[in-house]
Amino acid sequence: MKKTFGILIASAALAVASFDANAQAPADIPADMNVLMQKYTCIACHRPNQRLVGPAYADVAKKKYSNDEIVKLIYTPNPAHWPGYPPMAPMTQVPKEDAMKLAVWINSLDGDAKTKTTTKKTTTTKKSKKSA
């Protein structure tokens, strides 16, 4: 049990490290969200469309939580929602404002919803360079 957890942390740290080395967002993460994902280390365990340590955000979106519910779950995860996954640590260091931004984005990833015209995309500038 303890050992598994150690490995989990190690691989999470590794994921962050190698990601920083690239300093580039995967194509499916908008630059502004990439900044938050890195800052709060969500990126180590989550991807929009891929299961990593934690569930793909697209799968979270399918659960149809409200944005407020997602913010709550970031602060107090409920592992019972995700059988077969390790429990997520409470991410209480994330300011509410940023947690809400992440929640809104996560909820926008529901693939079943009508593909929205993402006109916002043009505003994604490269401000992800800030971590040195």
94 near ligand HEC, rule: CB under 6 A: yes
Q: How far apart are CA 16 and CA 44, in angstroms?
A: 5
42 scored as a contact of ligand HEC (CB under 6 A): yes
* 90 binds ligand HEC per the rule CB under 6 A: no
Nearer to ligand HEC, 29 or 42 (CB): 42
Residue in 25, 29, 33, 44 binding ligand HEC, rule: CB under 6 A: 44
d(CA 20, CA 16): 6
- Which residues are within 8 A (CB) of 31 and not within 5 positions of it... i.e. 6 or more apart? 25, 124, 125, 126, 127, 128
Q: Which of 29, 32, 64, 30 is nearest to 47 (CA)?
A: 29
Q: Which residues make up the interface to ligand HEC (CB under 6 A)?
A: 12, 40-42, 44-46, 53-55, 60, 63, 70, 73-74, 77-79, 81-82, 85-88, 91, 94, 102, 106
> What residues form the annotated binding site for heme c?
42, 46, 88
